[in-house]
Structures are given as C-alpha cells and as structure tokens.
Amino acid sequence: MTKRCSQDLTDGKMKSYLPINIEMDKIKKNYNNSINLSKFEYDFKEVNKVNIFKLRVGNELIKGFIPIAVNNTLTAKFSTMGNVTLVFMIMFIKSINLYDGEEMDGELLLIFKSVKTNKTLCVIIPIKRTTGKSKQTNWFSQFGDIDFNQGSDVEKIEVNNFTLNDIIPESEFIYYPNSMFAPFGCDHADSMKADYIIYPKEKAINIKASTYRKLRNTFGEFNSNLKDNIETPFFKKISWCKSNTNHKECMKVNEKGIYLNPRGTKAGAGFNLEPDISAMTCEPIVDEDDNPIDGRLRLSWLKTLSFGIPESMRNAFMLVILSVILLGIVVVIHDMVFNKLGMLIGSEKILDRHTIK
C-alpha cells in the first residue's frame, strides 16, 4: 500500500488534501472567524450533446467513476479567479468524501479552469437517491436512463433542456482553497490541485433511484472492495475514510485553510459581479517569498523611512506643523471675538462710528 499523504511540514504548517470528512455543524461552530465571501456566479446556457466515458486502467474499468463532457463552452465567474470555463465533469457512484462520517449515494465534480490564471476551481456536489421527480432528476435521467453500448468506451448522447443551472444548489458552501485531491497518491501526476467549493449534504441534488441503479449496473460502484490485481494506488487509497467507525484514517481537515461562505449561491443563477471586485477572504496576503504579511507589516516601510531621517530634522518638522496649527487656532479666535462677538454686543452707534458722515 502506498504511503498516505503527509500533512505536517517541517515548518509546522499543514497542507490541505482531499478526500475529507465534511462536518458542516463543526465548521459553523468552530470556524466562525473563517468567513469567506468570494462570489461564485453562473448562468449556464443549455447544451444539446454530452459524452459519457468509461475510464480504464489497462483493460480494467475504474468502477463508479463516470467522466462527463459537454459539446459547448460553459463559463461562470469566481471573484478570486475571474471567468472560469468548464473543462469536464466527474460523477462518482458512492461519494469519495464523507459527509458527517457517512457516504453519500454519489458526488458530482464540476472542474473549471480560470481564463486569466489557468488555476483550477472544482465544485463538489453530493448526490442522493429519491423516488420523486424534479429538474435535477431529469438532468441525470437524460444520460443515465439510456442503454449504454457495452463495446464502446464513449457514449454520445443528445439531450434537451439540459443546463447546469438545474444542479447547482442554492445554498451556502464550504471553500477549501489551494488543496490537493490526491486519491492516486501524494505525488501522482494525476493529483489535482485546485480551489474547492463543497456543498453540504442537506443540499444534495437528487437522482431517481431507477437512474442510479442503471448507472451503477453499467459503471459499477466506487468502493474499497476492488480487485488487488489492479496496479494503481487509486483503489488502495479509498480506505482512508472507511477503516473504522471513528473514521480516524480519513484525511484530516486543515482547519486553518477551510472557510464557510454563508452567502454561497443562494441567489441562484445570474451575474452580478462588479468589475475588478476584491473578494473578502481570510487567506493571508503574502510577499514575493510567500511569507504572510499582517496588517502591521504592510506599513512597515513608512516606519523604516521615518527612522532614516535624523531626529533633529524630525523634531523641526513637527515644530513647524505645530506652529501652523496654533496660528490657525489664533486666527479663528480673533475672527470670532472681534467680528462676530462685537456685532452681537455692540450698539448700532458704536458699530457705525467709523463711517464717514
């Protein structure tokens, strides 16, 4: 078995890895000061075709792992990245992350790339089975209810009224920036470093039980009970979160690197980002050496500059400023006493005695 990713660095800092155990109540209670107000805004257009892939290692199908691509360019906005473009989606049959210590029926990952910086944004949405109908169940049914060609690794499907707007929860979310999704191992080339938006299980999107069953029959279920003869760490790392009832082997959350966004996407679809908006985040501002700069240090150059001036010159400069202030006070008092006050207490005869008759 490959070694689990180490989070403790030599300088005592902790890296952020996924999968994690997502505990919303704990985050709300313990991380009240870790509020992130960055905006994720979207209004996705409809697409008419999707491609569903079967991913294999050698001849073995990676079970429960369903890559999904669309034939259109879909964009959203994230305030710390600007415009982001959808690269592809991944649906998991059985969730990779835990939600309050439990597996969800599935997860949907939306992977975006920033147009400006090429950074990756990954939106993670939990999935649960239902017997009801909704826009969400219709979204999954359009590709999940078809009969897949067993001899092909790509299925091209025509869809109608198919938009990602239907599966973005109108909800608060967790923001886990600069994190590594590393089920393949810490240093594996396919590990994905990204900023992560993760929705709570209470806002899981719905899939019909019959659609879920058909997808599971076609693609299998993502779990730790897979064949040992598949030579990849991918399958052996999934036991992180399932080894015992206390889930001690689940990747530990980097508490200093995870934030709650209470506004999230509650407003639904629509764009309201102002140009060059500066998001309020709790992420540290760093210098060119990646060292944090706190509020006091940002103005340290002024302190350094002032102490480079001789003390006698500084004192003379302060004396000049003080003299100007005192002179202004004297002028104001003079105007008040000899003009305004005189008009109030003086008689008309006294006030007019300077007038030439």
Domains and CATH numbers, the chain: 17-282 (3.10.200.10), 284-357 (no CATH)
Predicted local confidence at residue 172, as pLDDT? 94
Give the model's confidence band at 327: pLDDT under 50 very low, under 70 low, under 90 confident, else very high: confident
Q: Among 122-126, 197-201, 245-249, 296-300, which is the least confidently predicted range?
A: 245-249
| Residue 168 · residue 42 · CB < 8 Å | yes
Q: Is the pLDDT of residue 355 over 90?
A: no
Name the H helices within the chain. 24-30, 135-144, 209-219, 233-236, 300-306, 311-335, 342-345, 348-351
Predicted local confidence at residue 350, as pLDDT? 55
Nearest to 258, CA basis, from 202, 199, 177: 177
Cα 283 to chain center, whole Å? 11
Q: Among 14-28, 180-194, 251-265, 307-321, which is the least confidently predicted range?
A: 180-194
Pairing of strands 154-162, 292-293: unpaired
| Residue 191 · residue 17 · CB < 8 Å | no
Q: Which amino acid is at 337?
A: V
| pLDDT > 90 fraction of the chain, expressed in percent and rounded | 37
Cα 41 to chain center, whole Å? 12
Predicted local confidence at residue 308, as pLDDT? 53
Predicted local confidence at residue 310, as pLDDT? 63
CA distances from 347 to 39, 338, 355 (A): 69, 14, 14
Q: Is the pLDDT of residue 274 over 60?
A: no
Whole-angstrom distance, CA of residue 172 vs CA of residue 197: 10
Residues 5-19, mean pLDDT to the nearest whole number = 63
The SS3 call for residue 344 is helix
Q: Is the pLDDT of residue 169 over 90?
A: yes
Q: How many alpha carbons lie under 13 Å from residue 279 in its C-beta half-sphere?
A: 22
Q: Would you say the C-alpha torsion 154, 159, 163, 169 has a positive or negative sign?
A: negative
Q: Would you say the C-alpha torsion 172, 176, 177, 183 has a positive or negative sign?
A: negative
Give the model's confidence band at 97: pLDDT under 50 very low, under 70 low, under 90 confident, else very high: confident
Q: Would you say the C-alpha torsion 149, 94, 127, 187 has a positive or negative sign?
A: negative
More confident residue, 81 or 186: 81
Residues 86-104, mean pLDDT to the nearest whole number = 91
Q: Is the pLDDT of residue 344 over 50?
A: yes
DSSP code of residue 26: H
Query: What's the chain's average pLDDT?
Result: 76
The SS3 call for residue 177 is strand
Query: In which residue are the tokens 């506004």 written?
Result: 263
Backbone angles phi, psi at 256, to 5 degrees: -85, -5
Specify the pTM: 0.70
Q: Is the pLDDT of residue 87 over 80?
A: yes
Give the model's confidence band at 142: pLDDT under 50 very low, under 70 low, under 90 confident, else very high: very high
